[in-house]
Chain A
Amino acid sequence: MSDPTFVEARRRLEAKDRSLRDKRVSLAQAAALVKDGDHVAIGGCLYSRTPMAVLREILRHRRSHLTLSRNLMCYEGELFLAAGATRDIITSWIGIGLPWGLSRVVREFVEGGRARLEEWSHLAMGLRYRAGAMGIPFLPTLSMLGSDLQKMTTAKTMVCPFTGARLCLVPALFPDVAVVHVHRADCLGNAQIDGYPHMDADIAVAASTVILTAEEIVDTEEIRRRADRTAIPFFAVDAVVEVPYGAYPHECYGLYEADLDHIGGYARRVAAGGTEAVRAYLEEYVYGPETFEAHLAQFGRDRLLSQQRAARELTG
């Protein structure tokens, strides 16, 4: 665990350059901001707005000893475990999705003692990021009281000094790096999200370094015209990359539906072959294609367009 205390986390932010500057970089340059041993917080939720393009690039950089945190972890967790990039995952739930059952890979790693899974309730994950985003060391909640989650984590209980009620305290998360995919951003890093906000705004502000990928880079004037849509302020952001379909094969609200056939195909391969099947998937979809565009070409233009049409139908 590389989490700084709230004091160190504040000092880190104070030392950062907050100037209004062009932060556009390549995916490779953005991924290079992640160092071995970092705690990387992943935006989105399950298979929604997962920053797949940048996660893929981090895997291609062959990072190791990362701690991954996310509210609900989809198969990106399996990819990082099988790649040897992480042994520590902090989440409230890990799998692929309800119809696909238990994660065979997570079972192999956790039951084999080769990975540590730290489980919190979903609200507790949200409050841990929120506490980080607030610059304070913890937040109180009524969640997790009486559960064994409270006993197996670093959560503590206290008696409320005002009312005498029992409270559960969840410690702040200060990720080293947050990776977030949004609908649009300007080159300064002002980020706008359509549809579900998930926990991205808190994750970004809690982290020391923020990598933003956006479906579209827009002029700052456009951001100013819809300032109420801005979820993450430029001063929290360190790198901006324009990546259309940057969450694919996961979904991006209103723009493209998740490729459930692909995810189901992955789930079947892994149910049959376990970790070895994930390694084969990594070769085929992560290490093989040199660029994200080449990766998208593996799905084909027709597929991408049909996922786009489906999204428009649903949200139009």
Chain B
Amino acid sequence: MPYTASELLAVTASRLLADHKIVFAGVGTPLLASALARATHAPHLTIVVEGGVIGLEVQPGRLPISTNEMRAGRRAMMLPSITQTFLYAQRGYFDYGFLGGAQVDPYGNINTTLIGPIDRPRVRLPGSGGACDIISHCREVFIVTTHERRRFVEHLDFITSPGHLAGGTSRSGAGLLFGAPTRVITDLALMSFHPETKRMRVDALQARVEAQQVRDHTGFDLEFPQAPPELPPPAGEELEILRTLDPDRIFLGS
């Protein structure tokens, strides 16, 4: 069955979510991935979103567009204040966090603030929202984005969300003692970070993707395993669930 990049991202991300854990998700692909995990292998996964929802249940065809609207609160177990929601994250309750990003560097630092000089940006992006908080507090953070050379850059213009900073122990040196980005999920590959250098490296390739394609679409050097394994493509059932959740393809793309 053919599928879009967004569907592939949602399926790949959903498979990384274990049952009985708590995921801090955003709207769009992260929420679809989390809802898909609940519908398949992780029925006891609890979804939290930053608008202030604990235990979100998605109603097919009525996906929330923002994390603080009524649709996101449907059948919630708790609607805490936004500040309280993030304080639960800082306290250490959330197993997974999901982030996208305009620019990502080899250490999983993310820029969603600006392109160009700080005092006179060439492009002003929307900003952090909760991204900086999610990457600072969730135990495992998954970066989910399409794989483009303009996104995967050696140096960021601005660090909105701190990943492994300059690598090595620099993240904990800055005071970020807990959690960190652990996986990078793209439409070309699944990546992680070297345990010592904390530099991004390829773990596996998406189905029918060659290593050279990944290199061509990355603006920095990536380490590859000798024979990178290939991820199983999305199953028909997974795609059907996603398409039931988002029948208007607001987030699944076309």
Contact = CB atoms under 8 A, between A and B. Distances in A.
User: What is the interface residue range for chain B against chain A?
Assistant: 35 or more
9 closest A-B pairs by CB: A166-B175, A126-B83, A146-B174, A146-B162, A123-B86, A93-B129, A121-B132, A122-B130, A45-B68
Interface residues of A, number: 63
B82 A145 contact: no
Contacts of A300: none
A98 to B, nearest CB: 6
A185 interface: no
Contacts, number: 190
A29 to B, nearest CB: 30
A13 B165 CA distance: 43
A260 B81 CA distance: 24
A81 interface: no
B162 A72 contact: no
Contact of B68 (A46, A123, A166): A46
B132 A111 contact: no
A95 B174 CA distance: 30
A152 interface: yes
A254 B133 contact: no
Interface of A: 45-48, 71-72, 91-95, 97-99, 102-103, 106-107, 110-111, 113, 117, 119-124, 126-127, 129-130, 141-149, 152, 157, 165-168, 195-199, 201-202, 251, 253-254, 257-258, 260, 311, 314-315
Contacts of A91: 127
Given A119-B113, A147-B159, A45 B176 contact: no
Given A123-B133, A166-B175, A198-B52, A141 B68 contact: no
B160 A149 contact: yes
B208 interface: no
B126 A314 contact: no
B88 to A, nearest CB: 11
Contacts of A148: 113, 118, 158-160
Contacts of B89: 123
A80 to B, nearest CB: 16
26 contacts: A46-B66, A92-B127, A93-B128, A97-B66, A98-B28, A99-B65, A99-B250, A102-B124, A110-B121, A110-B124, A113-B120, A117-B124, A121-B133, A122-B129, A123-B86, A124-B133, A141-B90, A142-B178, A146-B165, A146-B174, A149-B128, A149-B132, A166-B174, A195-B70, A195-B73, A311-B70
Contacts of A120: 128
A126 B86 contact: yes
